[in-house]
Structure 1
């Protein structure tokens, strides 16, 4: 997780830290927020306990056929025996949560300020099946003063929102795109919190939101870091047609991950992109079902050793993420992000276009991601200063 924080230290030499302008909290009904979901825990545990699982199923290597029954049973047992939602809730509430009213939506975000007066405002966007939880491990280190490669000191004011329809942010109406989210979240940054300029980080669907600000709100979003680009990766045939050669073993490994995902791992994308009600309503009051549907993604997309040392992705991390989805009743609404952002149009686009800004862009590719963007592609979409 610490790898996410490191590239941002670079752009301190490229952009000045933002000053905070006058804030207008009253206009947006900004309120402190405390997470209290414990009332839903007894039903969640009852549903987990009462869900019958098969004794045996056909065995396939790894997750070839989806999450293994053995893994599911281990996760379920830990959920019932060792998992403590109250403890998790307490740890979440150590951070400063807020709700603001923007465009008739309740918008939730964490806002943790550095003690340094010249800290750079940085907003971190998650995707699906993620949430604000995935950035909690890096908040503290980002707010602390660190030294760049050039010897300058830098720290960040960290803002971590819940995307619309996720967790504590309310669900908008039909046809809501990632560009709409980019517009909505520019408001808390510039008008509610009062930052003149800020930096963005995006992964998964959050990359589309970050791109919408980097490209469309380019006087305020003055630096961007992506762990995923909001453009569809190229197939081996497309790479060959564009005379793009993958020279490193890592590039080749990541491209094969994308090939495998396209062939056997993207069924959820088709389902949520075409019939989100069907899967969302089936899973709505089914925590075990949500664990199967989303837990497999946490394991498959991050680290083959997930849940075992030395991986930092423990079973507890998976369980608290799924619990958050269940207790906030956001499994149905969160799936609409696929339906409302058709493939190739918004979110993940076919045509690679260059951002309308000269601000620095940074990209970090993680080995076990299921998409791949070689440097030559990343260079076409922005002022790439770090890869």
Structure 2
């Protein structure tokens, strides 16, 4: 199914245990296999693409259940709103469901129903899903998740994007879809050294697409996926036709005088119109009350990592807080996702012990400045109303001089593909129409 540029093994003669670095902690704890895949008779070359299948040990699930049952809860918040963080009653209800009703095996089956692979790039095993469209002329698309998301936030759009004729579209809208896990997230390996910032990941994604066999492709992302897509746009590797993002970087789009006012705590400049003042006030609100998570992970990922690695409830609270902050209907993630969907994502982080390693991308991004240069490739932008920062088009043009598509839609939040998969898919189709 994969058009590899390297020679494939000619025979499958043995079964080997391939362990992703992201699941090494469970291996060490329980000594059981996570994934068994078929390999060739000869030693695998570093650029081989290997099939991957999830199989979490029963012991790991039992340990999770034991820890949930032994939770030491704090007292309730002393306010009647979310101003102190996740409310005790909400988290206890989620954890009670996690302990007594949630079934990880359903999530595992969901992943294993899709073609999954590992490939080593720059010394790190990258896990990815690769679904080819039934339409031969489909456009190759690499789509990247964010934090605290994962591949789970993108699964609902696989069907609409790869098989649009079954979802109200036409064959000319089809994509061949590649969904990688960022290094240190999910089943991708945890980097053992520093330097895996968005620029390096962007270079790895170009290697990945060309290794699969796609000489021309487009990139899409929200959250960190948008930042990585931006990096790809600056690098402009041969074959990258354009990018689409549904999250905009504030620092590259906001006018200097507006950014200065935000930094100094000054009022909105008088020359801003009503839309711009709204964006300014929302940015100030976020920076003053909603940015603490990034400040912690950008400066002390190891410190917060101990809690994320040791306590499933601590991990759930850290993630649930951001879901509640960033969904379209603020404070009510259960209106955007089912409890199973929320817990699929959180449980993936728990079982792979990637709470700490995923936090390091914030440190990497803060420590390693992005490469200089403009984003010269064609760029498409969709603004969802529940996104944290929603700049007007003329601000967006500051970062994207080759802006080919800009649209504001009427529903959906930060997790757009997860919250509104049909609308999101329609936006991705429209974004890249002119590049086909």
- TM-score bracket, normalised by the shorter chain, equals 0.7 to 0.9
Question: What residue number does 1:273 align with?
Answer: 298
* 1:306 matches 2:332: yes
Query: Structure 2 stretches of 5 or more lacking a match?
Result: 9-44, 407-436
Counterpart among 43, 56, 59 of residue 76 in structure 2? 56
**Structure of higher CA gyration radius:** 2
* 1:137 matches 2:156: yes
Separation in 2 of the partners of 1:75 and 1:312? 15
Question: What residue number does 1:13 align with?
Answer: none
Separation in 1 of the partners of 2:325 and 2:367? 22
CA contact (8 A) 1:111 1:160 kept: yes
- For residues 346-361 of structure 1, the aligned pairs below 5 Å read 346=370, 354-357=374-377, 360-361=378-379
Question: What residue number does 1:161 align with?
Answer: 180
Helix, strand or coil at the partner of 2:363 = helix
Deviation sequence 1:248-297 (CA, Å, 0-9, x none): xxx66555432221111111111111111100012212100001111110
CA contact (8 A) 2:6 2:48 kept: no
CA contact (8 A) 1:31 1:98 kept: yes
Q: CA deviation at 1:60?
A: 2.9
Helix, strand or coil at the partner of 2:385 = coil
* 1:112 matches 2:131: yes
* 1:24 matches 2:6: yes
* 1:209 matches 2:228: yes
Counterpart among 404, 408, 411 of residue 385 in structure 1? 404
Question: What residue number does 2:206 align with?
Answer: 186
Question: What residue number does 2:273 align with?
Answer: 245
Q: CA deviation at 1:56?
A: 3.3
Query: Structure 1 stretches of 5 or more lacking a match?
Result: 1-19
CA contact (8 A) 1:306 1:312 kept: yes
> How high is the TM-score relative to the length of structure 1?
0.84
> How high is the TM-score relative to the length of structure 2?
0.75
Question: What residue number does 1:326 align with?
Answer: 350
Counterpart among 293, 308, 317 of residue 318 in structure 2? 293
Q: Would you identify which runs of 4 or more consecutive aligned residues in structure 1 move more than 4 Å? A: 149-152, 238-244, 251-255
Q: CA 1:150–1:320 in structure 2 vs 1: closer, same or farther (change >3 Å)?
A: closer
Aligned CA RMSD, in angstroms, stands at: 2.8
Counterpart among 227, 249, 253 of residue 230 in structure 1? 249
Deviating more after overlay: 180-189 vs 50-59:
50-59
Q: CA 1:75–1:174 in structure 2 vs 1: closer, same or farther (change >3 Å)?
A: same
Separation in 1 of the partners of 2:103 and 2:169? 44
CA contact (8 A) 1:165 1:171 kept: yes
State the structure with bigger RCO (CA 8 A, min sep 6), 1 or 2: 1
Aligned pair count reads 355
Question: What residue number does 1:316 align with?
Answer: 340
